[in-house]
Amino acid sequence: MDKAESSYVLEARNLKKSYGKGENSVAALKDVSFAVKPGEFVAILGPSGSGKSTLLNMLGLMDQPDSGDVFIAGKKTLALKEEARALLRNEKLGFVFQFDALLSEFTILENILFPALISTRAKKASYSEARKRALGLLEHLGLLQIAERYPSQVSGGERQRAALCRALMNQPDIILADEPTGNLDKANGEMVFKDLEALARQRLTAVILVTHNEEAALKAFRVFHMQDGALSEVLGVQS
């Protein structure tokens, strides 16, 4: 059966990925299957080197598995050309990384506008509409006052929440967040978690969060544990 069950916004089937060859080969993912419904907030815990970022890179269509496939909104993605994958990334997925990756020579507002400006859909929407939406997102996360500042002129927590606004700009179905609070203090980290959780609840955006923070993970609807390239669900966790 080629088609994934349509109730899943994102599904991984039997993903395998190794790095390197021969004796030096590392099996980073060993047959990982995983499915997420719209609006689910999923946390993935696991030790360093267990394969969490590798999995997120596959789910985000940034890298390809050796075998298995990733389905987005029920569609297979492995066989797609890079152009089609880039389009899916831009329209369906939002990314938040451990280090915010905002471009330092542009203002916070400009950074947030980029995904809309490079999207094909944006050609139909006007710049002023995109700008209005970006400002709305900044307001929603309490960041309106930093819109015209450069990333070096705001705090780490503010940068990370601005990166979240950028991830939301194209109204993605799925947010992939790899240790988004890794370099933040407790209070700012909690704010980012709270924002992610609210998004999942209010906008039906599926959130897949990789974290080392077990306390935060317990706020998720579902919790998974990654160990030596294998993923298992931690049962009995309920938000």
Ligand X SMILES: Nc1ncnc2c1ncn2[C@@H]1O[C@H](COP(=O)(O)OP(=O)(O)OP(=O)(O)O)[C@@H](O)[C@H]1O
Smallest distance from ligand X to CB 79, Å: 23
Smallest distance from Mg ion to CB 63, Å: 13
Give the three-class secondary structure for 84. helix
Smallest distance from ligand X to CB 32, Å: 11
Select the residue interacting with Mg ion from 50, 53, 181, 205 (CB under 5 A): 53
Q: Select 53 or 181, whichever has its Cβ closest to Mg ion.
A: 53
Q: Which of Mg ion, ligand X, none lies near 19, with the C-beta cut-off 5 to 8 A by kind?
A: ligand X
Report the distance separating Cα 205 and Cα 191, nearest Å: 18
Q: Select 109 or 177, whichever has its Cβ closest to Mg ion.
A: 177
Q: Give which of 148, 138, 209 is closest to 174, Cα–Cα.
A: 209
Smallest distance from ligand X to CB 2, Å: 28
Residues at the site binding ligand X, with contacts judged by CB under 6 A: 19-20, 26, 28, 46, 48-54
Q: What DSSP assignment string belongs to 42-79?
A: EEEE--TTSSHHHHHHHHTTSS--SEEEEEETTEE-TT
CA distances from 173 to 54, 102, 107, 197 (A): 21, 22, 26, 14
Residues that bind Mg ion (CB under 5 A): 53
